[in-house]
Every structure is written in C-alpha cells, then in structure tokens.
Amino acid sequence: MIVCHCRNITCTDIHSAIDWMRQADPETLITPRKVYRALGLEPDCAGCLPLFLDTMRRNGNLAIKPAQARPFHLPSIKDDDPCKAIPRSSTTSTAPSAAN
C-alpha cells in the first residue's frame, strides 16, 4: 500500500527502512525524517504524516528495546582513589584545647 503519494513510498519501504536502522543501531531514535533519509528521499507536502506514523508504529522494531541497551557499569572504587574519604585518627584532635 502506498503511504506517501508524493514520493511513492509504500508501507513495505517504511518497514524495511526501520528494520535496517534498528539492526544498524539498536539505540537510535527512529523518526519519520530518518526513514525518509534512509530511503534517499525528502518529504514534500507532509500530508501523509499521520498514515506514515501509524505505519511506523506497527513495526515491532520501532521502539528501543531495554535488552538491546548497553549494560551500565559503575567504575570500581580503588584503594588508591584520591577522592576516597580518609578516616580521622583517634589520637589527633582538631578541637581547641581548654588550655588555650
């Protein structure tokens, strides 16, 4: 079915472009503009945008899937970390003495 009559884009073209983009980059945000660019085209009147978006939403690869996201790694805290808190010595006092 033709979705965009100005550029003669079919629903198969849109799904193929989305599948290709998702395979190339699992974390990319896929927009109608990116679909047009993937097809080597530019939109003209944008009258197809509601149907274009509906077609995109029917593609199972449109959303970024959490399982495809990169795992989040916290850096390990090393013993020689200069930002690590230094415990105060129990013999050294910084409080003013009563003799002063």
**Among 29, 46, 63, 69, which residue sits at the site for ligand FES (rule: CB under 6 A)?**
46
CA distance 53 to 51: 5
**Among 11, 18, 35, 48, which residue sits at the site for ligand FES (rule: CB under 6 A)?**
48
Min CB(42)–ligand FES separation in Å = 8
Asked whether the beta carbons of 34 and 13 are under 8 A apart, the reply is no
Question: Does 29 participate in binding ligand FES (rule CB under 6 A)?
Answer: no
Min CB(61)–ligand FES separation in Å = 22
Question: Does 2 participate in binding ligand FES (rule CB under 6 A)?
Answer: no
Closest Cα to residue 52, out of 36, 74, 68? 36
Asked whether the beta carbons of 5 and 43 are under 8 A apart, the reply is no
Asked whether the beta carbons of 48 and 6 are under 8 A apart, the reply is yes
Question: Does 26 participate in binding ligand FES (rule CB under 6 A)?
Answer: no
